[in-house]
Amino acid sequence: MKILTILGARPQFIKAGSVSREIAKYKEIEEVIVHTGQHYDANMSDIFFEEMQIPKPNYFLGIGGKSHGAMTGQMIEKIEEVCLKENPDWVMVYGDTNSTLAGAIVASKLHIKLAHVEAGLRSFNMKMPEEVNRILTDRVSQILFCPTDTAVENLKNEGYDNLDVKVVKSGDVMQDGAMFYKKLALEPKQIQNSKFKIQNYILCTIHRAENTDNEQRLRDIFEVLNEIAKEKQIILPLHPRTKNILNNLKLNIQNLTLIDPVGYLEMVWLIDNCSLVMTDSGGLQKEAYFFEKQSITLRDETEWVELVELGVNSLVGADYTKIIDAYKNNSTFNTQHSKLNLYGGGKASENIIKELISYE
């Protein structure tokens, strides 16, 4: 069996790394990895692949920094060339990027079986390009690997029981990765010599366009973060673009501990040692749960509704009062919640490969 894996962003490589390590256990399976180049990431050097124990891509397409249409179109063209050359049995895609959609379109046009990892997720916000990408990818796949019961239910509600597609609750490959990388976590060099108190800080990340490109939302969020930081340290790895926006807005952020973006192993350390997570990241909401931390999500909706229903994640948008209330009331994680096995208990990659081997 030959599997052609399409990836375009660093988080996808980290997720796919867990599946690649499982594939490596089978001599009869060959994996060919294609990096579209959708997100240029200076951190993805050779050292990145070595430290993360992820196989390096076989192909690098170098397509990034373009409009959605130009990027996706060029990806389709280049991925098709690779597929015709490699003639895989399966194309495997992850998540909801333009690279995901491009790989799905190529597989469907060439009649190559398509497997979608992280299928069935829905924000129900069609203004999000990710929502469009994941819906279209699900529709042309032969097997849909859902991370949660909620994802399976979403597909059922959309009529997938009536389609010629296999829906599998595989668990979440992100949990596989979190468990694997916890033992490899690195304390960020930026804070090793600072007055850093373990278990006495909030980890915060802000990067989504719905926040960074909306001046009022950004003002509201940072006003409350700065207020909370008067009594509890907030460590915020900040992207240079967001930092420039904050500087231009002349916001009061003097109480926050701003650091440069960190690598994944350093981020794992920050999650593992914090007391609370505040974020607009989808992945970090789950990672907080994997590491038994409460999270506060600075968005108006989330794909991970089961965490909100469980009470380990508070969905607060950019509302000052809601954020303050969530901070005051949601600092202690109930460890019983981590035993519910919402995301497969670290067996997702194993389940995925077994399903592909037995697929008829």
Q: Is residue 207 flagged as an active site residue?
A: yes
Report the alpha-carbon distance of residue 274 to residue 234 in Å, rounded. Answer: 10
The number of angstroms, rounded, from the C-alpha of 160 to the middle of its chain's C-alpha atoms is 24
Using alpha carbons only, what angle is made at residue 204 by residues 203 and 209, rounded to the nearest 5 degrees?
160
The token duo for 281 is: 């990241």
3-state secondary structure 201-262: EEEEECCCHHHHCCHHHHHHHHHHHHHHCCCCEEEEECCHHHHHHHHHHCCCCCCCEEECCC
Q: Which of 35, 207, 239, 337 is catalytic?
A: 207
**How many CB atoms neighbour CB 76 within 10 A?**
19
Q: If residue 313 lies in a helix (H) or strand (E), which one and from where to where?
A: strand 313-315
Residues forming beta bridges with residue 205, ordered by sequence position: 279
Using alpha carbons only, what angle is made at residue 76 by residues 72 and 82, rounded to the nearest 5 degrees?
140
Catalytic residue annotation: 207
